[in-house]
């Protein structure tokens, strides 16, 4: 395996050859960027000569040629599922076809994580992410089915009922986004339930992690936290935490079904230590493969053999996952600040705004937006209308505060409209409603 790559290169070469034959999208993408027709990288050193693919490339292609952008590589009758990314309409929602074999691989990719946690057939898994056309819920359900776990699909039910199910069914495994898990832990503390799951809860699985979640899982659920990482473009899991958990372990890459490249964020050079961006390819994927997809995620790498768990697989530090671009993940939803900015500054009653992403007292994510309104627009109805507008377009309902203006010091203030304060604020904030000042 070459420095800065994980996976079987021969399988990737076979996928590139297949794409030249059956994917109109990749044929046009490569030819328009000067790649000779039919060219396949002879070795991993030459791989960087094949242009990366971005979200914009895929969205533009799907806009020109709905539904699949010229990248449907199986007959339509063989499509088993349709996946959409959790991005917002007009900015983030790519569409992917999935074959039956793709679904199978998606489920099997959970195996390393379940093994690390110690889950066995018959164990009870509480899966809180809704099952819909988004990949996360479908992937978790398929993983539970293939590995013989009994899934409790709570979806968006009340947190009180979730805690009741956790207790009644003596759940062995709890999976959800970080903010929801923190909310469950806080509610369990309030109800005197901390420690009730000692002896049968084997692991808490998070999409994202923090010291607060590690502490809450230990105190309330008597279990370690494990972090799993994937994306709709990959479908299969890209990395998962070893048996040491996120506090002491590593999120190890999975190269069985993927080909993963790790490149220096600044220079683009292949690296196996330091801060790297990730590029993925899907040699296994039949229906809508991706080849050299730039996820725009960055991580802090852990070299092969450096983790004390004994695994030879490389990976990255839990909690180090971040974005190269401006995307924010709020309550498990991908949100692009520029779309919200277009909506707010395009509204006739809004002159300016400031947005903060905060951690609420109950552990949830809060999108707080302070709006400076035109004189004619200051009303409670404006706050509610803006909250409804953002919710409709992004799936995230913000807390809105309407005020006269922003005090910018000495006229030299550089406008910074967005701040993510979830990991930098020392105290939690209350959950707010819409408000006028």
- The sign of the CA dihedral 313, 319, 323, 324 is negative
User: Would you state the torsion angle of the CA atoms of residues 315, 321, 326, 329, taken in this order, to the nearest 10 degrees?
Assistant: 130
Same domain, 291 and 376: no
pLDDT, mean of residues 116-133: 95
pLDDT at site 227: 95
Give the number of residues written for the chain.
Answer: 437
User: Which H or E element spans position 113?
Assistant: helix 111-117
How many domains is the chain partitioned into structurally?
2
> What is the Cα–Cα distance from 255 to 8, expressed in whole angstroms?
7
Last residue of a domain, one of 283, 305, 325: 325
pLDDT at 437: 34
* pLDDT, average across residues 63-82: 97
Residue with tokens 């960087």: 48
Q: Is 144 exposed, middle or buried (0-12, 13-18, 19+ CB in 10 A)?
A: buried
246 and 395 in a single domain? The answer is no
Are 286 and 379 members of one domain?
A: no
* pLDDT, tens digit (0-9, with 9 covering 90-100), for 347-384: 888 878 899 999 888 778 899 999 988 766 566 689 99
Residues 219 and 184 placed together within one structural domain of the fold: yes
Q: Based on the domain organization, do 110 and 253 belong to the same domain?
A: yes
Q: What pLDDT score was predicted for residue 336?
A: 80
Q: Assess contact for 302 and 321: CB atoms under 8 A.
A: no
Mean pLDDT, residues 100-114: 97
pLDDT digits (tens, 9 = 90+) for 192-230: 999 999 999 999 999 878 888 999 999 999 999 999 999
| ∠ CA 15-1-308, rounded to 5° | 125
Report whether pLDDT(266) > 90: no
Average pLDDT over residues 9-31: 98
The reply to whether 257 and 392 lie within a common domain is: no
314 plus 356 within the same structural domain: no
- The domain boundary residue, chosen from 275, 299, 325: 325
Q: Is the dihedral of CA 17, 23, 28, 29 positive or negative?
A: negative
In CATH, what number is assigned to the domain containing residue 378?
3.30.300.30
Residue 89 has a pLDDT of 46
Can you give the pLDDT at residue 5?
95
Q: Report pLDDT for 324.
A: 83
Angle, alpha carbons 364-196-365 (nearest 5°): 5
pLDDT (0 to 100) of residue 413: 31
Residue 156 pLDDT grade (very low, low, confident, very high; cuts 50, 70, 90): confident
Q: 243: closest CA among 308, 304, 149?
A: 308
Rounded to 10°, the helix 55-64/24-31 angle is: 120
**What is the domain-level CATH number for residue 254?**
3.40.50.12780
pLDDT digits (tens, 9 = 90+) for 168-184: 999 999 999 887 898 89
- The residue segments making up the domain with residue 390 are 333-436
Taking the C-alpha atoms of residue 238 and residue 315, their distance in angstroms, rounded to an integer, is 10
Instruction: Assess contact for 326 and 418: CB atoms under 8 A.
Output: yes
């Amino acid at each position: 395996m070459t420095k800065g790559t994980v996976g079987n290169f021969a399988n990737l070469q076979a996928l590139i050859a297949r794409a030249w034959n059956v994917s109109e999208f990749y044929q046009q993408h490569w030819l328009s960027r000067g790649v000779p027709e039919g060219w396949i990288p002879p070795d991993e050193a030459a791989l960087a000569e094949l242009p990366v693919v971005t979200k914009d490339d895929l969205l533009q292609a799907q806009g020109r040629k709905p539904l699949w952008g010229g990248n449907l590589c199986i007959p339509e009758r063989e499509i088993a599922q349709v996946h959409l990314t959790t991005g917002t309409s007009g900015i983030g929602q790519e569409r992917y076809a999935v074959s039956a074999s793709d679904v199978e691989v998606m489920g099997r990719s959970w195996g390393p994580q379940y093994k690390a946690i110690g889950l066995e057939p018959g164990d009870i898994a509480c899966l809180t992410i809704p099952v819909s056309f988004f990949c996360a819920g479908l992937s978790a359900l398929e993983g539970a089915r293939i590995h013989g776990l009994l899934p409790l699909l709570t979806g968006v039910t009340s947190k009180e009922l979730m805690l009741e199910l956790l207790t009644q069914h003596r759940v062995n495994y709890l999976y959800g986004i970080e903010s929801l898990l923190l909310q469950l832990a806080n509610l369990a503390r309030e109800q005197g339930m901390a420690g009730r799951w000692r002896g049968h809860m084997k692991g808490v699985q998070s999409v994202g992690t923090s010291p607060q979640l590690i502490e809450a899982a230990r105190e309330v659920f008597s279990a370690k936290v494990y972090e799993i990482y994937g994306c709709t473009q990959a479908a299969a899991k890209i990395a998962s935490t070893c048996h040491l958990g996120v506090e002491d372990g590593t999120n190890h890459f999975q190269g069985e079904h993927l080909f993963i490249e790790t490149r220096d964020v600044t220079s683009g050079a292949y690296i196996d230590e330091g801060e790297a961006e990730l590029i993925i390819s899907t040699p296994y994927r039949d229906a809508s493969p991706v080849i050299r997809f730039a996820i725009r995620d960055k991580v802090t790498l852990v070299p092969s053999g450096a983790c004390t768990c004994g695994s030879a697989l490389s990976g990255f530090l839990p909690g180090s996952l971040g974005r190269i671009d401006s995307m924010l993940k709020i309550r498990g939803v991908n949100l692009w600040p520029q779309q919200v900015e277009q909506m707010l500054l395009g509204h006739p009653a809004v002159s300016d705004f400031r947005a903060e992403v905060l951690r609420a007292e109950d552990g949830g994510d809060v999108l707080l937006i302070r709006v400076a309104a035109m004189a004619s627009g200051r009303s409670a109805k404006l706050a509610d209308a803006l909250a409804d507008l953002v919710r409709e377009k992004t799936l995230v309902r913000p807390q809105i505060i309407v005020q006269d203006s922003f005090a910018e010091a000495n006229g030299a203030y550089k406008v910074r409209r967005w701040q993510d304060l979830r990991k930098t604020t020392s105290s939690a904030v209350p959950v707010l409603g819409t408000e006028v000042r």
